[in-house]
Structure formats: structure tokens, C-alpha cells
Amino acid sequence: MNVVVVGAGIVGLAAARELAERGANVVVCEKRNVGSGSTERSAGGIRTQFSTPVNVRLSLESLETWSSFEERFGVDIAYRRAGYLFLAREPSTAAEFEANVAMQRDLGVDSELLSPEEARERCPGLDADEFVAATYCPTDGFADPHLALQGYVQACHDAGVDVRTHTPVEAVHRDGGDRGDGAVVGVSTPDERIDADAVVNAAGPWAGRVNDLAGVDLPVEPRRRQVAVVDPETPVPDDVPLTIDLDTGVYFRPEREGAAIVGGHFGDADPPADPDRYSTTADTDWTIEAVEHAADCATYFGPETRIKRGWAGLYAVTPDHHPIVDEVAPGYVTAIGFSGHGFQHAPATARLVADAILDGAIDIDGADALAADRFDDDRDTDAERNVA
């Protein structure tokens, strides 16, 4: 079985390694450098607190890899389990929390519903009077995406994967011959045609362009998201969870030496971005607004907070914020549209991609929520909130 994976971010490399470990001959084509799309700009969150069962299942399966990454791959990814703390200002959001925790616990997640006072015990600087409820899971946390990428690069090398950087895919070829089913049979790069039994679209922000080459129309768009690193007026302790004010959209977490990362998305939706031409620096107005929202949430971010730096990256977003992991045409499998969750769900996604190609089916409860045809009809689908 010969497979071409388009994209050498964390999802593409994880899928390539899984396929190679299961006997496939794999070539990865990357138009730039390894990890130069969304992975290098990820905040590295790893959590099990999601509002839909399929995302919880993807998290739980991926957690097995993240928690044993150094043993498996020989790389310490600086995995810190400080927890995730979700905060609700509105009673309707608190009601969602109650339902989410019940679902999560049914699936084996150690999450809990907290009062605002209990939430302040996890985050001492929290302005508890602003909130009506919270949820917390102690096994949630964050890791360094760059270190994780190094582990997967070496694992791909050890498994015999041929990773080709600066090798854009310019065409995706479909069969018009004997099979007559329009199967994808390979790709072309500027240097050659590569024949394949299957092609995987793991192109992140460029996923829509690769779909266009394959003659596939799916609702996935690149959207710009921003992050700032600040020196708070009061240092954020290392054991404070990644804290998310769900009703304003802001989040923060401790960084090294008392600094903090602040992120989130506020106001109207940004228009689709051009992945080849967008500002990778955080906007000044956005950064000020993000710090102001953080100050409304916790006392760490007083008027003496100093902005150190910031960056922007792209989420590949679908209408319901679930990925499209599916064989959408014969021999053409997508692993796209993670809406900011691609890093943390890469290990589980790799297994699903290999299942689709090598076994002919995706084996996970709730796979319909990942299928491309969910956008073709009037089927009700749950939406996942687009947060860190």
C-alpha cells in the first residue's frame, strides 16, 4: 500500500508514522518546513473537557500517547498537568457545564462541577464574584508542540517515512480508467508524479486548496487566531490551571518565570484568511482587549501588566468545529478542520486515518460527527465551542 500524506504538521506526521508502522509505504509532501503551518503556532493545550462525546473520545485516546510520549518517542514534551478551569458568567452557560460534566464523567473523564469559591481555590487570583459556576479537570494541561513535533519527525524517520519538505502538491490525480470510480491515484509535485493507492489531506490551513485539487468541496476555512505573552502585574503561579472565561472567550495560563499566555477570540468572526499571506504578529488592539478581558477575570492582570510579545496563527475551521476525518472519495482521506484541536487530537486521528485506508472503516463511537456528509443534509449536529 503506497500512501501520500499532504502536510507535515503534527496531524500529517502522526498519520504517516501510524500508516508506516502498520506496513504502508508513505511519502509526506510539505510545501514549506515541517510544522510550519498551524503546529508551530499552537498553544499546546491537551484537555478532555469537551462538550461533545466524539471530541472527548478523541481526547481520551490521544491522552494515552501524550502521557507516555517520552517513553514512546524519547522526547520530553514539557507536559504540564495543571488542569483546565472553565468559568461561566451566565446561568445558561452553567447549565451547559452541568450537562457536559455528566457526559464527560460517563465517558471516564475526571471532571467536576465547581462553585465560584471552589474555582478560586484552583486559581487564587480569580474574581469569583463575576462567575456563577465552573468546571475543572486535573488531568488536563498543555505541552510544547515543537518538542512533540520533533518526536514524530524522528518516529517517521525510524519507520521509513519519506518526508519531503519544500515539495508542494500541485495536482491530485483521479482515475478515469478501468476502475471508473474516480479514485485518487496519486499527486504531482513540481518535480514528479507520485503514484499512490491513497492520499491523505492533512494540510491544515491549506486543506481547502488541496480539496480543490481533488475536486472535493467541503466547508473548511482558515481563520486567524492570536496569542499574547505578558508579564502580569502579579505573577501567575505555575500550578494555576489554563483558565477559560467561556462567556467572554478569553483564556490565560502560566508561562515560565511568572509570565502568562493570554488568548481568545472576541467579537465578530474574522473573515477567512489567506494562509500564504496573513500577519503572524498579534494585533495591538486585540492584545489590549485580551488583557482587559483577563483583568476582568483575575487579579493577576492589573494596570502594570506588560506585553512582551505575541503571535497569530490559523485554525482550519468547520461550521460545527468538529474535524472532517473521512474517506470522502475513493482513495482520498481527509484529516482536516480541527478548529484549534488538531495538536491534542493528532494521536487518535492518526489511528482513524490508518483505519480508513488499511481497514476500510473508521472505528470510533460517534464517527458520524466526523463524516463529511454531515454537511449534506438537515441532520442536527452538536457544535463544539471554539476555545483553547
Instruction: Quick: pLDDT tens for 260-314.
Output: 999 998 876 679 999 999 999 999 999 999 999 999 999 999 999 999 999 999 9
Alpha-carbon distance of 97 to 112, in angstroms, equals 9
Q: What is the pLDDT of residues 302-328, one digit of tens each?
A: 999 999 999 999 999 999 999 999 999
Question: Across all residues in the chain, what is the average pLDDT?
Answer: 95
CATH superfamily of this structure's domain 2-49+145-219+320-375: FAD/NAD(P)-binding domain (3.50.50.60)
What are phi and psi for residue 276, nearest 5 degrees? -90, -15
Please give the CATH number for the structural domain made up of 84-138+221-317.
3.30.9.10
Give the three cell numbers for residue 106. Answer: 460517563
pTM, rounded to two decimals: 0.96
> What DSSP letter does each residue of 72-93 carry, written as one string?
HHS-----B---EEEEESSHHH
> 104 pLDDT band (50/70/90 cuts)?
very high
At 181 the pLDDT is 76
Give domain limits for the chain: 2-49+145-219+320-375, 84-138+221-317
Residue 361, class by beta-carbon neighbours within 10 Å (0-12 exposed, 13-18 middle, 19+ buried)? exposed
